[in-house]
Chain A
Amino acid sequence: MLGFVIRRILWLIPVLFVVSLITFTLMHAVPGGPWDREKPLNAGTVLRLNEIYGLDKPIWQQYINWFGGMLQLDFGPSYQYRDRGVNDILGKGWPVTVQLGVMTFIVAVGVGIPLGIFAALGHNRWPDYVATTISMVGIATPSFVLAILLIVIFSVGLNWFPARGWKGPDTWVLPVIALSGYQIAQIARYTRASMLEVTRKDYVRTAHSKGVRATAVVVRHMIRNALIPVVTILGPIFAFLVTGSFIIENFFGIPGIGRLYIVAIGGRDYSMIMATTVIYAFAVAFLNFIVDILYAYIDPRIRYS
Chain B
Amino acid sequence: MATQTRSLPGVAATARRSEGVWRDAFGRLRKNKLALLGALGVFLLLFAGVFGPLLAPLKYQAQDLVAIGLNNNEPIPPFQSMVHPLGTDQLGRDILSRLLDGAQVSMTVAFVVQLVVLFIGVPLGAIAGWFGGRIDTYLMRITDIFYAFPDLLFIILLSIAFRETAFGRALNGVLLVFVAIGLTSWVTVARLIRGQLLSLKETEFVEAARAIGVSDRNIVTRHLLPNAIGPVIVAVTLGIPTAILAEATLAYIGIGVQPPRASWGTLIAEGQGFIRSYPWLTLFPGIMIATALMSFTFLGDGLRDALDPKLKGKQ
Contact partner of A145 (CB less than 8 A), chosen from B154, B162, B290, is B290
A136–B152 Cα gap in the complex (Å)? 22
Residue-by-residue, is B182-196 near A (CB-CB < 8 Å gives 1, otherwise 0)? 000000000000000
- B279 at the A interface (CB under 8 A): yes
Contact between B164 and A193, CB atoms less than 8 A apart = no
One of B151, B157, B162, B241 near A22 (C-beta < 8 A): B157
Q: In the complex, what residue of chain B is closest to A27 when comparing beta carbons?
A: B161
Asked whether, in the complex, the Cβ of B313 is within 8 Å of the Cβ of A277, the reply is: no
* Distance between Cα atoms of A190 and B282 in the complex (Å): 31
Task: Specify which chain B residues have a CB less than 8 angstroms from the CB of A136 in the assembled complex.
Answer: 34, 294, 297-298
Question: What distance in Å separates the Cβ of B305 from its nearest Cβ neighbour in chain A?
Answer: 12
- In the assembled complex, the Cα of A177 lies from the Cα of B157 at a distance in Å of 28
The tally of residues in A whose CB lies under 8 Å from a CB in B reads 50
Contact (Cβ within 8 A) A152 B275: yes
Q: Distance (Å) between the CB of B271 and the closest chain A CB?
A: 9
Are A193 and B152 closer than 8 Å at their CB atoms? Answer: no
Residues of B within 8 A of A192 (CB): 313
B171 contacts A by Cβ under 8 Å:
no
Q: Which of A30, A148, A281 contacts B268 (CB 8 A)?
A: A148
Interface check A171, CB cutoff 8 A: no
CA distance A239 to B314 in the complex (A): 21
Indicate if the CB atoms of B252 and A242 lie closer than 8 Å: no
CB of A142 within 8 Å of the partner chain: yes
Interface residues on B, range: 35 or more
Q: Are B241 and A140 in contact (CB under 8 A)?
A: yes
Cα of A298 to Cα of B255 in the assembled complex, Å: 42
Question: Which A23-40 residues sit within 8 Å CB-CB of chain B?
Answer: 23, 26-27, 29-32
Report yes or no: A148 in contact with B161, Cβ–Cβ below 8 A.
Answer: no
Chain B interface, >50% SS class: helix
Residue of A nearest to B152 (CB): A243
Nearest-neighbour CB distance to chain B for A256, whole angstroms, equals 15
Q: How close is A226's CB to chain B, nearest CB, in angstroms?
A: 12
- Are A281 and B161 neighbours in the complex by a CB distance under 8 Å? no
B148 interfacial contact with A, CB 8 Å: yes
CB-contacts of A169-218 with B (<8 A):
189-190, 192-193, 196-197
The residue of chain B having its C-beta at the shortest distance from the C-beta of A12 within the complex is B148
Complex Cα spacing A30 to B313, Å: 45
With a cutoff of 8 Å between Cβ atoms, the chain B residues found around residue A277 in the complex are 153, 156-157
Cross-chain contact B252 with A247 (CB below 8 angstroms): yes
Residue of A nearest to B145 (CB): A18
Per-residue contact bits, chain A 280-302, to B (CB 8 Å; 1 contact, 0 not): 11001100100000000000000
Closest to B245 in A: A142
For the complex, what is the distance from the CA of A30 to the CA of B145, rounded to whole Å? Answer: 23
**Chain B residues, CB < 8 A from A152:** 275, 279, 282-283
Return the contact of A142 from the options B255, B276, B289 (Cβ within 8 A).
Answer: B289
Q: Which chain A positions have C-beta within 8 A of B252?
A: 144, 247
A204 → chain B closest CB, angstroms: 17
CB pair A140 B161 closer than 8 Å: no
Nearest-neighbour CB distance to chain B for A194, whole angstroms, equals 8
Q: Is B279 a contact of A280 with CB atoms below 8 Å? A: no
Tell me if B160 counts as interface (CB < 8 A to partner A): yes
Interface residues of A in 234-261 (CB under 8 A from B): 239, 242-243, 247, 250-251
CB distance from A183 to the nearest CB of B (A): 14
* Distance of A18 Cα from B153 Cα, bound (Å): 14
A265/B283 in contact, CB under 8 A: no
B275 contacts A156, C-beta separation under 8 Å: yes
A149 to B275, CA, bound (A): 10
A30 touching B161 in the complex, CB below 8 Å, given contacts A15-B145, A280-B153: yes
In the complex the two chains form, what is the Cα distance from A142 to B145 in whole Å?
26
Which B230-264 residues sit within 8 Å CB-CB of chain A?
241, 245, 248-249, 252-255
Q: Does B315 contact A (CB under 8 A)?
A: yes
Assess A30 versus B315: contact at CB under 8 Å? Given A144-B268, A156-B276.
no
Does B149 touch A at the CB level, under 8 Å?
Answer: yes
A241 to chain B: closest CB distance in Å? Answer: 10
Closest to A282 in B: B148
Q: Decide yes or no: A262 and B253 within 8 Å by CB, A32-B164, A141-B293, A148-B275 being known contacts.
A: yes
Q: Indicate if the CB atoms of A26 and B255 lie closer than 8 Å.
A: no
Residue numbers in A under 8 Å from B172 (CB-CB)? none
- Option from B153, B165, B272 in Cβ contact (under 8 Å) with A31: B165
- The one of B150, B164, B253 that contacts A239, using a Cβ cutoff of 8 Å: B150
23 contacts between A and B (CB under 8 A): A15-B145, A18-B148, A32-B164, A137-B294, A141-B294, A142-B248, A142-B293, A144-B249, A148-B286, A151-B275, A156-B275, A193-B313, A193-B315, A239-B151, A243-B151, A243-B152, A243-B153, A251-B272, A262-B254, A265-B156, A265-B160, A277-B156, A281-B150
State the 8 A-B residue pairs at the shortest beta-carbon distance, nearest first. A140-B294, A140-B293, A243-B152, A145-B286, A26-B161, A193-B313, A148-B286, A15-B148
Additional A-B contact list (17), CB under 8 Å, known A26-B158, A196-B313, A281-B150: A18-B149, A26-B160, A30-B162, A31-B164, A141-B293, A144-B248, A144-B268, A152-B282, A163-B276, A197-B313, A243-B151, A243-B153, A247-B249, A247-B252, A251-B272, A265-B156, A285-B148
